[in-house]
Amino acid sequence: MEPAALSPTEMGCGSIVLFDLQQQAGHAMAVQRQSYQSGHAPKCLVVVDDSEEWDRAIRYAGRWALRASGRIVMLHVIETEDQNQQWLGVADLMRAEAQEQANAELDQAAVLLAAIGVTAPERVIREGEPTAQILATIEHDSDIALLVLAAHSGPEGPGPLVTHVTKTIGAFPIPLVIVPGDLRDADIDALS
């Protein structure tokens, strides 16, 4: 069964590493990007999750949007596992709780964006494996021109999402910015 993709809902210093993923992959994108064509606006996709550093990615994306006259797409991925039919009722309850948590985290991200002057970010909640859902979101919206993630700065590594995304870097059709999780607001503002 393919993971369900939910429609967007209405809006209620280290260094920055920039990879041109399309050029590294050496292949054409499946969907032609339209970010800078007439009638379109560039969008930045930022993942909102339960990591300690996700707010660093939000700040960088928000600053980018202000400078580039772009828009923000906030993505929250609800990771799903195979669910046994006998536990379907429990699975439905867990899904509802996960949706509620996802919306709360997106609300928090929208407040952070509003504090720096970014209004009306798009909200997307998807279910499934995070990297696959990031790619599906990019594929679905041809105006997305940039993906921003934040990396954990501790000795245990950058975090599972950044680790997995960088292993599959050639599959991404847009540039990726990885923001170090220990950057202060002033550091991010100076870089974005």
Higher-confidence residue of 87 and 26: namely 87
| Domain residue ranges of the chain, discontinuous segments joined by + | 17-191
Convert 120-187 into a string of H (helix), E (strand) and C (coil).
CCEEEEEECCHHHHHHHHHHHCCCEEEEEEEECCCCCCCCHHHHHHHHCHHHCCCCEEEEECCCCHHH
**Is pLDDT above 90 for 14?**
no
**Right CATH for 17-191 from 2.115.10.20, 3.40.50.620, 3.30.460.10, 2.40.110.10:** 3.40.50.620
pLDDT tens, residue by residue, 97-154? 999 999 999 999 999 999 999 999 999 999 999 989 999 999 999 999 999 999 988 7
pLDDT of residue 30: 58
Distance CA 81, CA 160 (A): 17
Distance CA 48, CA 33 (A): 23
